[in-house]
Chains A and B, each alone.
Chain A
């Protein structure tokens, strides 16, 4: 059980800057994120895309922004809990008990939800029949490639994950690669390699096809694919792999008794607290009149939520506003002279 002042859900730019603001006012926090790296959408969706509307930064990429935010909170030595997701929030006396998928437990007066549009999860096949094999022979990520040795593997997708795995597995498995159009969005070198392997019959390439049905009773036997013209083919397959990128799912957040408006959480604009005392929401996931889904708005929301957390974390102290330029207390916290 970890005792802290604030648990932040989401390590995107908004969560990171909120952590900074908590550090500045002398509070501790723990940051949980479902992804395996820090940065949220900035890192997962557009690490290389330039962003032009961060105040005083004319241009930077999602990755640069993330790295700078990480650097900015370094003096505070906050803990990150990556590859983990907050599953449960439960009121315990005046505090919140926070439980994660990896069975970590936190006790805290404050939870800040900076979860974007929810957690990233693999996009799955649209076919109902794929569900009963999910996690066994229908997979959306690979942990141990040795299970595919000498097996027939049908890989769906046109991005780098699909291409890289098709190339990698072509040496140990019988690989079919199926994609809905002729163009691939993966790296040009990988696309070239796929074409070569296809010419050498090391990969069976099916473009302009998509999944129709997964075949097999009990165990997976094959996969039926369809073209837009309505032509069907059945491929033998021991494993079916789908690489369609990630989607954002609100997930367990929907079950915590918070007021929800579509997929967003209404908040007050004074402290960004939700309808539950001690639970705050900032960034893309929060909603209030005039809300803009901009990173800069997330920064502002995080700064105010941090002050909102103070009164529950230090009920007997009065919060005093200070400038970083003038306050020695803050400079000590930052470790600067």
Chain B
């Protein structure tokens, strides 16, 4: 279980507890947090669950697997702190993680 803070582009914060084994994307969708669309349902084929992760946490997350950066090319305003939230698996280690949502997903 990890407490995750989702921060909308307008600054509005949502803090929820997400079970281990779910993804950060699923944590948002299951709690009706706006700002993460996840059109493809988590198959890494749409780039609509794009989030920014600040440096301190970015380096602690499991590294991107093949294909994630390719998908991020197609996200809205990606930068070097971009991740696809469907590829971040929640574990106890992620307790306290904050993710920032982009202005929009597409």
Interface residues of A (CB under 8 A from B): 41, 45-46, 117, 123, 126, 157-159, 179-181, 183, 185, 210, 228, 244-245, 247-249, 263, 284, 293
CA distance A126 to B43 in the complex (A): 24
Q: How far is the CB of A171 from chain B (nearest CB, A)?
A: 25
A45 touches B45 (CB 8 A): yes
CA distance A244 to B39 in the complex (A): 16
Q: How far is the CB of B72 from chain A (nearest CB, A)?
A: 8
Contact with A along B38-66 (1 / 0, CB 8 A): 01110101111000000000000000000
* A247 to chain B: closest residue by CB: B106
With contacts A45-B40, A185-B70 taken as known, whether A126 is within 8 angstroms of B46 at the C-beta atoms is no
CA distance A59 to B73 in the complex (A): 29
Q: What B residues does A46 contact at CB under 8 A?
A: 43, 45
Interface centre among A41, A117, A158 (most CB of B within 10 A): A117
B45 touches A117 (CB 8 A): no
CA distance A249 to B74 in the complex (A): 15
Q: How far is the CB of A109 from chain B (nearest CB, A)?
A: 31
Q: What B residues does A293 contact at CB under 8 A?
A: 41
Interface size (B, Cβ < 8 Å)?
19
Main secondary structure, interface of B, reads: loop
Q: How far is the CB of B25 from chain A (nearest CB, A)?
A: 13
Can you give 10 contacting A-B residue pairs, CB < 8 Å?
A46-B45, A117-B40, A123-B106, A157-B73, A180-B73, A210-B77, A245-B73, A247-B46, A247-B48, A263-B37
In the complex, which of the residues A181, A183, A244, A263 contacts B74, with contact meaning CB atoms closer than 8 Å? A244
Q: How far is the CB of B2 from chain A (nearest CB, A)?
A: 25
Question: Is B80 an interface residue when CB atoms closer than 8 A count as contact?
Answer: yes
Question: Is B31 an interface residue when CB atoms closer than 8 A count as contact?
Answer: no
Interface residues of B (CB under 8 A from A): 37, 39-41, 43, 45-48, 69-70, 73-74, 76-80, 106
A248 touches B39 (CB 8 A): yes
CA distance A8 to B48 in the complex (A): 26
B77 touches A126 (CB 8 A): yes
Interface centre among A126, A158, A210 (most CB of B within 10 A): A126
Q: What B residues does A158 contact at CB under 8 A?
A: 70, 73
* A158 to chain B: closest residue by CB: B73
Q: What A residues does B80 contact at CB under 8 A?
A: 228
CA distance A187 to B77 in the complex (A): 24
A248 touches B70 (CB 8 A): no
* A262 to chain B: closest residue by CB: B37
CA distance A8 to B39 in the complex (A): 21
* A123 to chain B: closest residue by CB: B74
B41 touches A284 (CB 8 A): yes
* B102 to chain A: closest residue by CB: A126
* B73 to chain A: closest residue by CB: A158
CA distance A180 to B72 in the complex (A): 10
Q: How far is the CB of B49 from chain A (nearest CB, A)?
A: 13
With contacts A181-B69, A183-B69, A247-B106 taken as known, whether A126 is within 8 angstroms of B41 at the C-beta atoms is no
CA distance A180 to B78 in the complex (A): 8
CA distance A158 to B80 in the complex (A): 16
CA distance A263 to B37 in the complex (A): 9
A263 touches B39 (CB 8 A): yes
Q: How far is the CB of B58 from chain A (nearest CB, A)?
A: 14
Q: How far is the CB of A181 from chain B (nearest CB, A)?
A: 7
* B104 to chain A: closest residue by CB: A126
Other A-B contacts than A45-B40, A46-B43, A159-B70, 6 sampled, CB-CB below 8 A, are A185-B73, A210-B77, A228-B79, A247-B39, A284-B41, A293-B41
Q: How far is the CB of B45 from chain A (nearest CB, A)?
A: 4
Q: What B residues does A157 contact at CB under 8 A?
A: 73
Q: What B residues does A126 contact at CB under 8 A?
A: 76-77
Interface centre among B41, B70, B73, B77 (most CB of A within 10 A): B73
CA distance A75 to B25 in the complex (A): 43
